[in-house]
């Protein structure tokens, strides 16, 4: 998985081959060919592993209240100064996501991952309502909008520019304040 | 341009060739090869023409107030029931945009088109502030967030699903109401 990640960052989706993944792979190449029929099968497995890594942590942090947990998610999503490695990773995910426009296997993955992230964001919003921090909004509706915005930020970061991401982050704060935070906060 | 559009909807970016564009082109194929060295050159010209088509109308409608003009933009962006042809077009744009992750010519286009749409949205917000309809928000900041959300909606529509787009549209209404509309509206 580490070799796939490194090769993706280096070559992008279009330039990726199993031979190039092998450049970063310490074990025998025959192992790669034994397990995977082609690069897409390996990449889909890679995407599944990514979701597994988010499984434990994303949106969950028992020490913090719902507002802090949401702020951490938004900071991660709309970070105005991402380091080079993370930008390379974002580029790879945007390219893999675009495969879903014509490839049902990728589409199935991104539909499932979208549902996962939306559910986690909705849970944070729901907790915030119960804690009296957030207003009585529809958690799923808020989560749908925030997830879509996150998809937009990732896409624009690598296809348009990073210049506007600071503005998006600031507007997200204004949104949280005017739409989500309870009057007396 | 019509032939390029039709071929893109039919074959997508990866399956597109000048020969396939020619299937939809009533004139001689040699004309296509005379004008364009390859499909990317033709596609970039196609994207420029798209922006030219938006030039006259997008965000401009002198009959309507700023709130109505913004609502029309949001209805266009987050339409929960898009017809098949428009979904095919969206799929094509998402695939072309993903080329920008590694191809500077596409990136230049999407940086310029992003600036164009953000400026137009900001102008509508600015008019709304002057008309006393909207609060005294930062028009560029609001436009950055709405443009990023639009990018997210287009991307998710063809790579995740349309199920959540109705929820996103509803949340956009809530955003306009709580963040933009002046207290006395």
Q: A82-116 pLDDT, tens per residue?
A: 888 889 889 989 999 999 998 999 999 999 999 99
In angstroms, the CA B137 to CA B181 distance is: 10
Q: Is the CB of A117 inside 8 Å of chain B's CB atoms?
A: no
Which stretches of chain A score pLDDT less than 50? none
Q: CA-CA distances (angstroms) from residue B138 to A49, A167, B60, B126, B142?
A: 40, 9, 20, 8, 6
Residue to substitute from A145, A157, A176, interface B, most B β-carbons within 10 A? A145
Q: Nearest CA of chain B to the CA of A31: how many Å?
A: 29
Plot region of B59 (φ>0 → left; ψ -120 to 50 → alpha; else → beta) = left
Contact status of B26 with chain A (Cβ, < 8 Å): no
Of the candidates B3, B9, B1, B25, the residue with the CA atom closest to the CA atom of residue B94: B9
Mean pLDDT, residues B5-26 taken together: 88
Gap from B5 CA to chain A (nearest CA, Å): 16
Hey, are the CB atoms on B141 and A171 less than 8 Å from each other?
A: yes
Contacts of B167 in chain A (CB under 8 A): 138, 140-141, 144-145
Q: Measure the CA dihedral B102/B105/B107/B112, to 10°.
A: 180
Residue B148: strand, helix, or coil: helix
Between residues B64 and B33, which one has the greater pLDDT? B64
CB-based contact (8 Å) between A51 and chain B? no
More confident residue, A55 or B74: B74
Rounded mean pLDDT, B11-17: 86
Residue the block writes with tokens 């204004």: A174
Contact A181, A67 (CB under 8 A): yes
Question: How far apart, in whole angstroms, are the C-alpha atoms of residue B76 and residue B70?
Answer: 10
Q: Count CB neighbours of A141 within 10 A.
A: 19
The verdict on a CB contact (< 8 Å) between A167 and B175 is no
Chain B interface mutation, best of A40, A91, A148, highest count of B Cβ atoms under 10 Å: A148
Q: How many CB pairs under 8 A join A and B?
A: 150
Report which of residues B177 and B52 the model is more confident about: B177
B17 vs A: CB within 8 A:
no
Are A105 and A112 in contact by the 8 Å Cβ rule? The answer is no
CA atoms within 13 A on the CB side of B176: 22
Per-residue pLDDT band for B74 (boundaries 50, 70, 90) equals: very high
Give the per-residue pLDDT at A89. Answer: 87
| % residues pLDDT > 70 (chain B) | 99
pLDDT of the residue at B141: 98
* pLDDT digit string, tens, across residues B95-154: 999 999 989 999 999 999 999 999 999 999 999 999 999 999 999 999 999 999 999 999
Per-residue DSSP letter, B15: T
The pLDDT value recorded for residue A140 is 98
8 A C-beta contact, residue A73 and residue A121 = yes
Mean of all residue pLDDT scores within chain B: 91
Phi-psi region of A61 (alpha: psi -120 to 50; beta: other; left: phi over 0): beta
Question: Within an 8 Å CB–CB cutoff, is residue A183 touching chain B?
Answer: no
**B105 and B169 Cβ atoms separated by less than 8 Å:** no
CA–CA separation, B145 and B168 (whole Å): 13
What's the pTM value of the predicted model, to 2 decimals?
0.93
Residue showing tokens 């023409």: B49
Write down the ipTM of this complex.
0.93
Residue whose structure tokens are 């137009």: B120
Summarize the confidence of residues B9-26 as an average pLDDT: 87
């Amino acid at each position: 998985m580490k070799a796939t990640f490194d090769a993706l960052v280096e070559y992008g989706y279009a330039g990726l081959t199993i031979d190039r993944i092998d450049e970063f792979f310490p074990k025998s190449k025959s192992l790669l060919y034994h397990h995977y029929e082609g690069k897409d099968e390996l990449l889909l497995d890679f995407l599944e592993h990514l979701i597994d890594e988010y499984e434990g942590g994303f949106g969950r942090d028992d020490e913090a209240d719902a507002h802090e947990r949401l702020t951490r998610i938004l900071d991660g999503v709309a970070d105005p100064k991402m380091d080079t490695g993370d930008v390379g990773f974002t580029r790879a995910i945007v390219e893999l996501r675009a495969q879903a426009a014509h490839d049902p296997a990728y589409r199935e993955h991104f539909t499932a991952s979208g549902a996962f992230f939306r559910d986690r964001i909705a849970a944070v919003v729901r907790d915030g309502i119960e804690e009296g921090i957030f207003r009585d909004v529809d958690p799923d509706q808020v989560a749908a909008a925030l997830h879509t915005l996150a998809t937009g930020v990732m896409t624009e970061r690598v296809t348009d520019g990073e210049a506007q991401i600071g503005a998006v982050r600031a507007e997200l704060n204004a949104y949280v304040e005017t739409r989500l935070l309870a009057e007396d906060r």
